[in-house]
Amino acid sequence: MRINRVKLVAELTRQDMTQKRLAELAGVSRATVNSIKCGKSCTDEIGNRIAAALGVDVTEILE
């Protein structure tokens, strides 16, 4: 699964959330969030966790 980094950053900014806080809420490492933000792909499970932590449907942040 590849998350659109522009949409991810926009959602983080809209919610005034840091990568660290997103990582805590999603139950993943901050390095994982940073990798995704830099354009790397992730597993479906991690993508779903990140979407849930942001309170959005995963389809809203996919490429």
Structure tokens belonging to residue 19: 């990568």
Q: Does domain 5-60 have CATH number 1.10.260.40?
A: yes
Q: What is the DSSP letter of 61?
A: T
Tokens 């354009």, located at residue: 39
pLDDT band at 56 (very low <50, low <70, confident <90, very high): very high
Looking at the whole model, is its pTM more than 0.85?
yes
pLDDT band at 4 (very low <50, low <70, confident <90, very high): very high
18-52 per-position pLDDT tens digit: 999 999 999 999 999 999 999 999 999 999 999 99
